[in-house]
Structure 1
Amino acid sequence: MHLNFPLVLVIAVAVSGFLALLDRVVLAPRRRKAVASYEAQVDVADPQTIERLEKEPLLVEYGKSFFPVLAVVLVLRSFLVEPFQIPSGSMKPTLEVGDFILVNKFAYGIRLPVIDTKVIPIGDPQRGDVMVFRYPNNPSINYIKRVVGLPGDHIRYAGKQLYVNGQKVEHELVEIVPDDEVPAGHPLQTLANAAIYREQLGEVTHLIRQKQLSQTPKPKEWVVPQGYYFMMGDNRDNSNDSRFWHSAEMPQELWGMVPDNYIVGKAFAVWMHWPEPKLSNLPSFSSVALIH
């Protein structure tokens, strides 16, 4: 079960804000009235008694203290920038496991938190964008992939070659590297390599990764419905993505294209790398790297 953090944050802001408002409108005037009544009844007021009468209830004190902090976090996280951690290698070599990224929450329009309804349209995803979205079959989980198909596009993937609207998506070999995804002890571990290509997708030039020993998938074609986006990982042979939409090959992992209301935002920078969060393995705070 995944914690719905946006909902928890909204509830926390609402509760703390209510306590702050309750104190301002009802409780604080009542305390001042009690202090004034006490001072009118005695010749010399006892400081400790006045302090006790002026003391805020503990719950109210916490609510007033946390409200501004929580409200700022809610605004920043919901409408401006939100951090995410990369948990898998499906976007290698662009993003590695343990990368901490920043996501622009307003690039594709201002959306209300929790319900994700777009209230102010600003822009739409473009082919080649790296986008965070909610997993179509379990919206409580966030995924990150690259936008390959826009609404109305015809997508074809054949012989490990991508075609968009009948046009071959050009790519050129950059290097051959050892395939670090082959399990240790595998008989082909020393022979397995992966090819890194530079691909031009729309206006974006980026890197993709393909295993040299993997089987060539059967040719497939899709038409992207209106209001949906076709997503693929840069690690083309190790990414569960829109290519497996209604696929008999992976019935337990039916994926699907991503509807517009499941969009979270556009990933734009890596600010930290920490593959194993623990004290013995400190994070790397190299300079911020822009995501292409």
Structure 2
Amino acid sequence: MKNWARANKGFLLFLMLFGVFRTAVADWNPIPSSSMHPNLLEGDVVFVNRLAYNVKVPLTDIVISQTGEPQRGDIVTFSSPRNGTRLIKRVIALPGDRVEMRNEQLIINGKPAGYGIASEAVENIKGVGNLTAVRVDESLGDRSHAIQFLPQIQARRNFDPIVVPPGQYMMLGDNRDNSEDSRFIGLVPRALLIGRAERVLASADITGNWMPRTERFGMSLYPKQ
């Protein structure tokens, strides 16, 4: 074993440096579920900038220094405060924000979010079948993004006003009626943020024919407003 290690020390050093790079600088994250429809699809692989908010000790949640502030509308990977599972959701409310939801409409600091003209799409729910999804553009301040609702299923469409404590964030999925997010797992401490998802690196239709979706390769997750 020692002889093998000596003979392959260059390769082992590469693996070690690669592991440090992935856990401290940049990473990629496969999308396994529909919770971010219509913006992220199952089979997308997104590039994650791990230095967007924090510098951490590799393989830990120990923050060495802060490099930037999460912004409302950012798509973020983080460890679930409930069980440590890696999740990807959108930042909806920042520390100090007063946020509530009334019949799907967000109200942040007393100002209702804006919603565009609705359109319809087909959403397939495993074990249920095809449902009609209602898609709209949601505006939070000067940023907007597409979201969707599934009126036919039971979902948490209301919550009372809360003030987000210092150092914590509210995360919601874009597929509002089919997402396990801060409505269920609670607010997310900054130390659990992993990084900011920037763009789709590659994509394949893993729920269908597994063909590459080349039109999504390199797609930015933040279209120009």
TM range (shorter): 0.7 to 0.9
Q: Encode CA deviations 1:123-161: one digit per residue, 9 max, x unaligned.
A: 01111100000011112x210000011111111001110
CA distance in 1, matches of 2:50, 2:142: 21
Counterpart selection for 2:201 from 263, 271, 274: 271
Offset of residue 65 of structure 1: 2.9
Name 1:235's counterpart in structure 2. 175
Aligned residue for 1:102, secondary structure, equals: strand
Contact 2:31/2:42, CA 8 A, preserved across alignment: yes
Counterpart selection for 2:189 from 249, 259, 269: 259
Offset of residue 119 of structure 1: 1.6
Name 1:28's counterpart in structure 2. none
Aligned residue for 1:207, secondary structure, equals: strand
Offset of residue 183 of structure 1: 4.4
Counterpart selection for 2:148 from 204, 209, 212: 209
Contact 1:88/1:96, CA 8 A, preserved across alignment: yes
Contact 2:100/2:158, CA 8 A, preserved across alignment: no
Given the alignment of the two structures, is residue 124 of structure 1 paired with residue 63 of structure 2, yes or no? no
Contact 2:204/2:211, CA 8 A, preserved across alignment: yes
CA distance in 1, matches of 2:88, 2:98: 22
Counterpart selection for 1:193 from 132, 136, 153: 132
Change (3 A) 1:213 1:284: closer
CA distance in 2, matches of 1:275, 1:123: 34
Name 1:32's counterpart in structure 2. none
Given the alignment of the two structures, is residue 281 of structure 1 paired with residue 225 of structure 2, yes or no? no
After the TM superposition, which parts of structure 1 deviate over 4 Å for at least 4 consecutive aligned residues? none
TM-score, with length taken from structure 2: 0.88
TM-score, with length taken from structure 1: 0.69
Identity %: 33
Which segments of 5 or more consecutive residues in structure 2 lack a partner in the other structure? Answer: none
Contact 2:70/2:91, CA 8 A, preserved across alignment: yes
Q: Encode CA deviations 1:45-70: one digit per residue, 9 max, x unaligned.
A: xxxxxxxxxxx8223223x1323311
Aligned residue for 1:57, secondary structure, equals: helix
Change (3 A) 1:275 1:222: farther
Offset of residue 178 of structure 1: 2.5
Name 1:80's counterpart in structure 2. 25
Offset of residue 199 of structure 1: 1.1
**Paired residues for 1:1-292 under 5 Å:** 57-62=3-8, 64-139=9-84, 141-181=85-125, 183=127, 192-214=131-153, 217-244=157-184, 255-276=185-206, 281-286=210-215, 287-292=217-222
The root-mean-square deviation of aligned C-alpha atoms, in Å, is 2.4
Offset of residue 264 of structure 1: 0.2
Q: Determine which structure has more spread, i.e. the larger CA radius of gyration.
A: 1
Contact 1:169/1:200, CA 8 A, preserved across alignment: yes
Range 115-124 or range 264-273, more displaced? 115-124
Aligned residue for 1:221, secondary structure, equals: strand
Change (3 A) 1:179 1:282: closer
- Bigger proportion of residues as helix: 1
Give the length in aligned residue pairs. 220
CA distance in 1, matches of 2:122, 2:205: 20
